[in-house]
Structure 1
Amino acid sequence: MIEIERKFLVTSLDFITEKSNSYTIKQGFLNTHPERTVRVRIKDKSAFLTIKGKPNASHRSRFEWEKQITITEAENLLKLCERGVIDKTRYEVQSGSHTFEIDVFEGDNKGLTIAEVELSEENETFLKPDWLGEEVTGDTKYYNSQLSKTPFNTWIND
């Protein structure tokens, strides 16, 4: 399956009043090679193993494969992950015909809030909420796999 998404910084917490759903996420990476990442994620009471390929030239599309696994399997796999587990709360907000997923990071990434919107084609238009800030699609430092290695709280005047 091909995932098409765009990422943005978030300028305020105003989205919280617009949320339709929220849940906690804990995730780690078994592999963070530039050609692929292998992620283990616990999302509330569900767990997933996800493989993502290298982004295309626009950084908006890439291969993604995901399989649901048990919580026990995920907890055991998290023990094998590379350093830097990601903890965050995800909020879902409807904007027009699209759903934004806004991640409010905790731990070493506290203070960072990123919104993602999945699209059906790369140049698809969508309504941009007022709290949506600078686009960071393709800026690898905002990839979760990179935030696990170089967390937000280690960035100095970046």
Structure 2
Amino acid sequence: MIEIERKYLVTSNNFKTEAFNSYAIKQGFLNSEKERTVRVRLKKDKGYLTIKGKSSDDGLSRFEWEREIPKLEAEHLLQICEEGIIDKIRFEVKYGNHTFEVDEFFGDNKGLVIAEVELNTKDEMFIKPDWLGKEVTGDIKYYNSQLSKKPFKNWK
């Protein structure tokens, strides 16, 4: 399956009052090479294993495969992940015909807030909330796999 999404920095906390759902996510990477990433994620009471391919040149799309796995297996896999576990709270915000996933990061990435919106086509139009800031689609430093290696706290 090909995933098409756009990423933005978030300029205020207004998204929190607009969210219809939120939950904690803990994730690590078994492989974080740019050709493919293999991610283990704990979300609510479930585990997930995700493989993502290399991003397109414009950063808008890439192959993504994901399967639910038992929570206990995900917990064990997190113990053998590369250094740099990601902790965040995800807020889901319905805006227009789209749902924005807004991630507020903690730990070494505290202070970083990123919103993503999944699209059906690369040129699909969508209404932008007023708390959406600069677009960072395709900027590799904002990929979770990179945030695990080069966290926000170390940026100059």
Asked if Structure 1 and Structure 2 have the same fold, meaning a TM-score greater than 0.5 normalized by the shorter chain, the answer is yes
Count of residue correspondences: 156
Structure 1 residue 123, shift from structure 2 partner: 0.7
Residue 116 of structure 2 aligns with an amino acid whose one-letter code is E
Residue 131 of structure 2 is matched in structure 1 by 131
Residue 152 of structure 1 is matched in structure 2 by 152
Structure 1 residue 6, shift from structure 2 partner: 0.3
SS of corresponding position for 2:148: helix
1:65 aligns with 2:102: no
Q: Structure 2 stretches of 5 or more lacking a match?
A: none
Deviations 1:65-95 (Å, cap 9, x if unpaired)? Answer: 0010011100100011000000000000001
Residue 50 of structure 1 aligns with an amino acid whose one-letter code is T
Deviations 1:16-47 (Å, cap 9, x if unpaired)? Answer: 11001000000000000110000000001111
For 2:34 and 2:18, how far apart are their aligned partners in 1? 35
SS of corresponding position for 1:149: coil
Between the aligned residues of both structures, percent identity stands at: 66
Structure 1 residue 58, shift from structure 2 partner: 1.3
Residue 31 of structure 1 is matched in structure 2 by 31
Calculate the TM-score normalised by the size of structure 1. 0.98
Moved beyond 4 Å, runs of 4+: none
For 2:55 and 2:86, how far apart are their aligned partners in 1? 21
For 2:100 and 2:109, how far apart are their aligned partners in 1? 20
Residue 43 of structure 2 is matched in structure 1 by 43
Deviations 1:117-145 (Å, cap 9, x if unpaired)? Answer: 00000010100000000000000000000
For 1:49 and 1:80, how far apart are their aligned partners in 2? 14
Q: Structure 1 stretches of 5 or more lacking a match?
A: none
Structure 1 residue 57, shift from structure 2 partner: 1.4
- RMSD, aligned CA: 0.4
Q: 1:6-155, aligned counterparts within 5 Å? A: 6-155=6-155
Calculate the TM-score normalised by the size of structure 2. 0.99
For 2:76 and 2:136, how far apart are their aligned partners in 1? 32
Structure 1 residue 99, shift from structure 2 partner: 0.2
